[in-house]
Amino acid sequence: MNSLRKANFFWAFSVIGVFLAESACPVGFDLVNLKCIAITSHLLSQHKAETTCKDMNAHLIFIQTAIDNTAVLNYASNITSPMWIGATCKVSEEPTKCMWDDGSYLSYSNFLPDSPNQPLKGRWISATCDLAEYHAICEVNK
């Protein structure tokens, strides 16, 4: 009987733990690979994307691993256009010259080689921030 109580307690605790993990993100954000993210429904310039994320108490997403990149790509599978992330290349498209919006250098990048006719499939491109309009991927710090 005692082991049955332990099993019931463990099951209840597990269910509560899963519920709390799922509800850890603010309303409008989804948990994707331990990141709370949301994608804007409308197209924005890079500046407006930053402002929109800030208005949501968030920032443009920092993608720091290939696993994060794949998880975000899968989450955004219904979006067909490029999306803004929180990286800026002020000097050139060289990943060593690019920084995240918090001022840290990229330790991971997934820039598309010079192949303009290739589908993106999760690869990154550079765009003119004030001219291009894309969806924004916003991230809330947990």
Domain contains 21: no
Domain contains 14: no
Domain contains 79: yes
Domain contains 6: no
**pLDDT higher than 70, residue 127:** yes
**pLDDT higher than 80, residue 114:** no
pLDDT at 121: 78
Instruction: Label residues 89-105 b or e (16+ Cβ within 10 Å = b).
Output: beeeeebeebebeeeee
Please give the full DSSP string across 72-98, using - where no structure is assigned.
Answer: HHHHTTT--S-EE-SEEESS-S-GGGE
Domain contains 73: yes
pLDDT digits (tens, 9 = 90+) for 58-112: 999 999 999 999 999 999 999 988 999 999 887 655 656 788 999 998 889 888 8
Cα–Cα distance for residue pair 92/128, rounded to 1 Å: 12
Domain contains 11: no
Banded model confidence at residue 118, pLDDT cuts 50, 70, 90 = low
Number of domains comprising the chain: 1
Cα–Cα distance for residue pair 119/18, rounded to 1 Å: 37
What is the domain range of residue 56? Answer: 27-140
pLDDT digits (tens, 9 = 90+) for 30-70: 999 999 999 999 999 999 999 999 999 999 999 999 999 99
The 8 Å CB, 24+ separation contacts for 87-95 are: 87/62, 87/63, 87/124, 88/129, 89/126, 93/126
Domain contains 2: no
- Main-chain dihedrals φ then ψ at residue 101, nearest 5 degrees: -60, -15
**What value does the mean pLDDT take over residues 110-123?**
70
Query: What CATH number is attached to the domain comprising 39?
Result: 3.10.100.10
Domain contains 31: yes
